[in-house]
Amino acid sequence: MARVALVTGGTRGIGAAISKALSAAGYSVAANYAGNDEAAALFTAETGIATYKWSVGDYDACVAGIARVEADLGPVDVLVNNAGITRDGMFHKMTKEKWDAVINTNLNGLFHMTNPVWAGMRERKFGRVINISSVNGQKGQAGQSNYSSAKAGDLGFTKALAQEGARAGITVNAVCPGYIGTEMVRAIDADVLNKHILPQIPVGRLGEPEEIARCVLFLASDNAGFINGSTISANGGQFFS
Ligand code: NDP
């Protein structure tokens, strides 16, 4: 039986590359998304991968959404917590609304999604939870106090849960991408990207979503069974942790 993988934010950007890589490797994949029906429809037309719409920021919606996925595909073996948003602003202009939106999606979302699958993974004595954090959670980034806080929190969550899941056959790891050429990064002002961001990246280019997907594929595989509580930094040499 194919293992079942659920990828949050799995229809666009890095998540789409992860969904495709897992599907190509033989997993039965469910790609969750929040609201962009057009992108989700295009993604399914292109890949044949089933999509499921709910917000990872809403606990009850996660419980109901996961139940739908499990009814369709079977119990979730691999959970990739990839969904994320940015609402940037220097701290003196940071609003509570922006703060709450980012913490709720990027940090609370990990609880909302992992909590409902955890008991099943423990019972079946197998699970892989892979959290997509960020280089900006590792090093902090001006203008992203909300995002850096949430992404650093994702790493704490990863390390704590790795200890709890180990004896039940569950590994929990994180991937910290550097700047990857998705819509999230293309939304950054071109001047800022060329003058301030690219010069910080020793390999001299943005990463590709597929380069993150390959890290996730490895962490999901049986080859990674002894890797638990780890962080893979995939950032072109921008930051060493
Ligand atoms: P994109 O903006 O390209 O795609 C985001 C995906 O997440 C979409 O599928 C979107 O759904 C979904 N999503 C957003 N909010 C929610 C929500 N509340 N519930 C469910 N799904 C949601 O993002 P990226 O591919 O660039 O980023 C993916 C992850 O990687 C994020 O966690 C991001 O923080 C992280 N990351 C990205 C970096 C980069 O350079 N791009 C660098 C470091 C980390 P919909 O299509 O419906 O909007």
Let me know if 147 is a catalytic residue: yes
**130-184 pLDDT, tens digit each:** 999 999 999 999 999 999 999 999 999 999 999 999 999 999 999 999 999 998 8
Q: Whose CA is nearest to atom 12 of ligand 1?
A: 9
Q: Is 12 in the pocket of ligand 1 (CB under 6 A)?
A: yes
Band the pLDDT of 186: cuts 50, 70, 90: confident
* Rounded CA separation 170/167 (Å): 7
| Measured distance CA(92)–CA(159) in Å, rounded | 31
pLDDT in tens, 113-134: 999 999 999 999 999 999 999 9
Give the number of other Cβ atoms within 10 Å of residue 59's Cβ.
16
Which amino acid, 137? G
Q: How far is the CA of 108 from the centre of ligand 1 (A)?
A: 15
The end-to-end CA distance of the chain, in Å, is 38
Helices marked H in the chain — which ranges? 13-24, 37-47, 59-73, 96-103, 109-124, 135-139, 145-165, 183-186, 190-192, 209-220
Residue 134 CB–ligand 1 contact under 6 Å? yes
Per the CB < 8 A criterion, the answer to whether 44 and 32 are in contact is: no
Round to whole Å and give the CA distance between 10 and 16.
Answer: 5
The type of residue at 237 is G
- Asked whether 9 lines ligand 1 (CB < 6 A), one says yes
pTM for this predicted structure = 0.98
Q: Which domains, from first to last, does the chain contain?
A: 4-234 (3.40.50.720)
227's tokens: 């890797």
**187: pLDDT confidence band, cut at 50, 70 and 90?**
confident
**ipTM of this complex:** 0.99
pLDDT of res. 1: 86
CA 72-113-67 angle, 5° bins: 25
